[in-house]
Amino acid sequence: MNARLNLIADPTAGKALKHFMAAGRTLKDSPLPASTQELVALRVSQINGCAFCIDMHTKEAAAAGESSVRLNLVVAWREATVFSDAERAALALAEEGTRVADAGEGVSDEVWELAAKHYDEEQLATLVTLVSFMNAVNRLNIINQQPAGDYQVGQFH
């Protein structure tokens, strides 16, 4: 399987993607815990069915020390006992922020207040931006049929 386009090599898309990926690196340097960022990125990608991003964030999280048990249970985080209350709040926000068309009201006040209980304003801003960023990246990869499986840890950093 090959991607439909080489977006990086395209003059316009490549230039835009450089800025886009720089934004992603900025998020990585935020005070939102790296493990939370990877769990959120993975969950958003699972919901959207972005194989490339699932591959990437699973490998990045594992390289950062995340356990295979937690990575395997992200898809069923509500029933899993391996996530902190703060991580659960972030995952709930990620799900509602990703399923805005399905949820009707978008992110509910209940989910927002739960996230605000665990994260300060800067962390919340990062979390909201990360969810939006991941949804955009997922769509780029899905539309382009970006193949999964060959991602190397640190490839985009």
Once rounded to an integer, what is the mean pLDDT over residues 123-135?
98
Percent of the chain topping pLDDT 70: 98
Give the rounded distance of the alpha carbon of 55 from its chain centre: 12
Predicted local confidence at residue 109, as pLDDT: 95
Q: At 46, is the secondary structure helix, strand, or coil?
A: helix
- Considering the entire predicted model, what is its pTM? 0.94
Phi, psi torsion values for 151, nearest 5 degrees: -60, 135
3-state secondary structure 79-115: CCCCCCHHHHHHHHHHHHHHCHHHHCCCCCHHHHHHH
Predicted local confidence at residue 102, as pLDDT: 80
Percent of the chain topping pLDDT 90: 89
Q: Is the pLDDT of residue 103 over 80?
A: no
| C-beta of residue 86 within 8 angstroms of C-beta of residue 31 | no
Average pLDDT for the chain: 94
Phi, psi torsion values for 50, nearest 5 degrees: -90, 95
- Residue 155 binned pLDDT confidence (cut-offs 50, 70, 90): confident
Predicted local confidence at residue 105, as pLDDT: 79
